[in-house]
Amino acid sequence: MRHFDLVIIGTGSGNSILDERFDDWNVAIVEKGVFGGTCLNVGCIPTKMFVHTANVASTPAAGTKLGVDSELHGVRWPEIRDRVFGRIDPIAAGGKRYRVEDCPNVTVFTGEAKFVGPKQLDTGTGEVITADRFVLAAGSRPVVPEIPGIVETGFHTNDTVMRLDELPRRMIVLGSGFVATEFAHVFSSFGVDVTLIARSGAVLRAEDEEVSARFTELAAQRWDLRLNRETVRAERVDGVVRLHLNGPNGAEVVEAEELLVAVGRTPNSDTLDVAATGVATHLDGRVVVDEFQRTGVDGIWALGDISSPFQLKHVANHESRVVQHNLLQPEKLLASDHRFVPHAVFSSPTIAAVGLTEQEARASGVNYVTAVQEYAGIAYGWAMEDTTGFCKLIADPETGRLLGAHIIGPEAGTLIQPLIQAMHFGQTARTIATGQYWIHPTMPELVENALLKLPVKH
Ligand SMILES: Cc1cc2nc3c(=O)[nH]c(=O)nc-3n(C[C@H](O)[C@H](O)[C@H](O)COP(=O)(O)OP(=O)(O)OC[C@H]3O[C@@H](n4cnc5c(N)ncnc54)[C@H](O)[C@@H]3O)c2cc1C
Ligand SMILES: NC(=O)c1ccc[n+]([C@@H]2O[C@H](COP(=O)([O-])OP(=O)(O)OC[C@H]3O[C@@H](n4cnc5c(N)ncnc54)[C@H](O)[C@@H]3O)[C@@H](O)[C@H]2O)c1
C-alpha cells in the first residue's frame, strides 16, 4: 500500500491548501469529478455569471418606470451558456493539469474515494492508500426529495441545469432557498415561465422575517408562486413534467417542460464512508470538527460543506486557510472564526445579511433595538425609483454594537460590507455612522441612515 504524508479528498477549497511550503511533502489528491469543486464548476461562479446576464436582460423592463422605453429582443441562450463554460471549463482542466504535470510531489487519483479502514482510503482507481494526515474536503451534493415518480420523471439540479441545450418554455422550481430563487431569477429574466413551489408560507424563510416577507411579496408578482404546498407525486406525460401538489386549495397539478430540484444539499460524508476511519458525524451528516477543524481522529481534518453548518464558499476558503496553517504549524493551532458569517442571495432583489435575524434575537432573549431605512428615503434610491428595498439593523441599545444587519435591494451584497467589518472589529453604530464621511449621494447612505436611526447609546 502506498503511504503519503497527506491525502486531500476533494479539489474545491481543499485544492488551495497546497503551496510551496508543502513541496517536500508526499501528497495525494483524490477527486471524483472535475477540478475546482462546486463553486467553480456548478455553483457560485457560473450562477453569478448567469445572474449578471439576467440582470442585463431585465434592464429594459426596469427602465419603464424611469421613462425609458426599450425592449428585450431575446437572449441567445447557447451563446450565453457557452460563454460561461468557455471560461470555466478551461480553468478546471488547467487546475488538474497543473497538479498532474507541474507538482512532482503530488499524485492525483481520479476516482471516488471511500474509507475502508482506519486511515485507509480506497481511491476508486483500484488502489488503496494510507497516510499520516487526511483532509476531508469532499463537499456536499443536492438533496433529492423522496417524491414518488421523481426519478422516472427526470429532473435537473444545479449540476445540470446551466448546461441545458435550449431554454424551456416553462420551468418548475421545487424549493424556495438560495438555489431556487437565484435560478428562478435567471430563467424568468431569460423569458422562461417559472412556477416556484415552497413547502412553507414564505420564500427564503431563513432570512430575517421582514426580509423574507418582502421577498415573498415580490416573488409572487414575478413568478407563479405556490406557497404551503406538499409535492405528492411527479410524472412526465408527452414530454411534460407534471407535479401533483396538495395545498390550501386542495389538490392541483403544475406542468412544465423542465423541473429544477433545489431543496438543499447534504454532506458527502456518507459516500466517503468516514465512519470506516472512525470519524463521527452529526445527525445531518456533517463531519464533527472542533474549532481547529480537527475531527476526532488524530491527523484527520475536515473543511467546507462536508463539515460546516455554513455551506458557503467564503467559509470553505477560510477553513481551508485554517487547515493549511494547522497542518504546517500543529504546535500553534489556529481556530476558525465563525462569529459573523455573512451571506448574499443573488436573486432579484438581492439580499445580504450578517448576524442575528430579528426572530433569532427575539428567541435568544437578548436586549435589542432595530432600525429600518428604506432605499426610497435616500437620494440614490430616488434616482432608482426603488420602492421596495430596505436596510434593517439590529443592535444592542447599551453598547451600540450591531447584532445583525439585513439588506434587501440593489447591490445588497456590496452595501453590507462596512457592517460586517464593524461587527468583526467591534465598532459601535455611532462610531461607524458619524466617525467617517459617507459619499453623497450614493447607495451606502442607506447604511449610514439606518445606523443613525438606531436608538443606541454609543
Ligand atoms: C448553485 C450554487 C450556487 C452557489 N453560490 C454560492 C455563492 O454565490 N456564494 C457562496 O459563498 N457559496 C455559494 N455556493 C456554495 C459553495 O459552492 C459551497 O459552499 C462551496 O463550493 C463548498 O466548497 P467545498 O470545498 O467544501 O466543496 P466542493 O467545492 O463541493 O468540493 C468538493 C469536491 O470533492 C469531490 N468529491 C466529493 N466526494 C468525493 C469522493 N468520495 N472522492 C473524491 N472526490 C470527491 C467533488 O467532486 C468536489 O470536487 C453555491 C452552491 C451552489 C450549489
Ligand atoms: N448565494 C449564495 O451564497 C448561495 C447560492 C446557492 C447556494 N448556496 C448554498 O448552498 C446551500 C444549498 O442551497 P439550496 O437552495 O439547495 O438550500 P436551502 O437550504 O437554501 O433551501 C432549501 C429549501 O428547500 C425547501 N425544501 C426542503 N425540502 C423540500 C421539499 N421536499 N419540497 C419543497 N421544498 C423543500 C426548504 O424548506 C428550503 O426552503 C445553501 O444553503 C447555501 O448555503 C449559497
Same domain, 125 and 187: no
The whole domain housing 396 covers 349-453
Distance CA 215, CA 279 (A): 40
In a domain, 341, yes or no: no
Q: Which atom of ligand 2 is nearest to the CA of 343?
A: 3
For residue 191, the domain's CATH number is 3.50.50.60
Instruction: Specify burial of residue 212 (Cβ count, 10 A radius: 0-12, 13-18, 19+).
Output: buried
Q: Between β-strands 250-256 and 240-247, what pairing exists: parallel, antiparallel or unpaired?
A: antiparallel
Distance of CA 37 from the midpoint of ligand 1 (Å): 5
Tens of pLDDT, residues 396-428:
999 999 999 999 999 999 999 999 999 999 999
Distance CA 115, CA 276 (A): 6
What is the per-residue pLDDT for 441?
A: 97
Distance of CA 10 from the midpoint of ligand 1 (Å): 9
Same domain, 272 and 211: no
Same domain, 362 and 433: yes
Among 263, 278, 303, which residue terminates a domain?
Answer: 263
In a domain, 343, yes or no: no
Cα 33-35-37 angle, rounded to 5 deg:
80
* Closest protein CA for atom 14 of ligand 2: 264
Q: Which atom of ligand 2 is nearest to the CA of 180?
A: 15
In a domain, 338, yes or no: no
Give the list of residues 6+ apart from residue 346 with CB closer than 8 angstroms, or none: 47, 48, 51, 182, 185, 413
* Closest protein CA for atom 15 of ligand 1: 312
Specify whether 440 is catalytic.
yes
Distance of CA 333 from the midpoint of ligand 2 (Å): 33
Prediction ipTM score: 0.98
Among 208, 237, 263, which residue terminates a domain?
Answer: 263
Distance CA 139, CA 116 (A): 19
Task: Tell me if 351 CB under 6 Å of ligand 2.
Answer: no
Q: Which three cell numbers stand for residue 283?
A: 445527525
Q: Which atom of ligand 2 is nearest to the CA of 178?
A: 15
In a domain, 342, yes or no: no
Same domain, 217 and 362: no
Q: Which atom of ligand 1 is nearest to the CA of 138?
A: 34
In a domain, 241, yes or no: yes
- Catalytic: which of 3, 338, 424, 440? 440
In a domain, 339, yes or no: no
Same domain, 101 and 137: yes
Distance of CA 174 from the midpoint of ligand 2 (Å): 10
Same domain, 15 and 136: yes
- The closest alpha carbon to 340, from 318, 359, 368, belongs to 318
Task: Tell me if 135 CB under 6 Å of ligand 1.
Answer: no
Distance CA 101, CA 104 (A): 7
Distance of CA 68 from the midpoint of ligand 2 (Å): 36
CA distances from 137 to 203, 316, 330, 428 (A): 30, 9, 19, 37
Same domain, 259 and 398: no
% the chain with pLDDT above 90? 100
* Closest protein CA for atom 4 of ligand 2: 178
* Closest ligand (CA of 158): 1
For residue 435, the domain's CATH number is 3.30.390.30
Same domain, 138 and 20: yes
| Strand runs labelled E in 294-349 | 300-302, 343-345
Q: Which atom of ligand 2 is nearest to the CA of 147?
A: 31
Same domain, 253 and 160: yes
* Closest protein CA for atom 12 of ligand 2: 264
What is the per-residue pLDDT for 389?
A: 98
Same domain, 385 and 417: yes
Task: Tell me if 38 CB under 6 Å of ligand 1.
Answer: yes
Same domain, 318 and 380: no
Task: From 34, 313, 350, give the residue whose CB has the most ligand 1 atoms within 8 Å, as the site to mutate.
Answer: 313
* Number of folded domains that form the chain: 3
What is the per-residue pLDDT for 418?
A: 98
Name residue 308's amino acid.
Answer: S
Task: Tell me if 256 CB under 6 Å of ligand 1.
Answer: no
* Closest protein CA for atom 19 of ligand 2: 264
In a domain, 333, yes or no: no
Distance CA 303, CA 138 (A): 9
What is the per-residue pLDDT for 18?
A: 98
CA distances from 117 to 23, 114, 122, 129, 456 (A): 28, 9, 9, 10, 57
C-alpha 232, offset from chain centre: 28
What is the per-residue pLDDT for 204?
A: 98
Same domain, 421 and 367: yes
Task: Tell me if 231 CB under 6 Å of ligand 2.
Answer: yes
- Please report, in tens digits, the pLDDT of each residue of the chain (458 residues total): 999 999 999 999 999 999 999 999 999 999 999 999 999 999 999 999 999 999 999 999 999 999 999 999 999 999 999 999 999 999 999 999 999 999 999 999 999 999 999 999 999 999 999 999 999 999 999 999 999 999 999 999 999 999 999 999 999 999 999 999 999 999 999 999 999 999 999 999 999 999 999 999 999 999 999 999 999 999 999 999 999 999 999 999 999 999 999 999 999 999 999 999 999 999 999 999 999 999 999 999 999 999 999 999 999 999 999 999 999 999 999 999 999 999 999 999 999 999 999 999 999 999 999 999 999 999 999 999 999 999 999 999 999 999 999 999 999 999 999 999 999 999 999 999 999 999 999 999 999 999 999 999 99
Q: How many CB atoms lie within 10 A of CB 227?
A: 18
Task: Tell me if 311 CB under 6 Å of ligand 2.
Answer: yes
In a domain, 344, yes or no: no
Distance of CA 39 from the midpoint of ligand 1 (Å): 5
Distance of CA 207 from the midpoint of ligand 2 (Å): 12
Among 247, 263, 279, which residue terminates a domain?
Answer: 263
Task: Tell me if 51 CB under 6 Å of ligand 1.
Answer: no
Distance CA 385, CA 62 (A): 10
Instruction: Specify burial of residue 225 (Cβ count, 10 A radius: 0-12, 13-18, 19+).
Output: buried
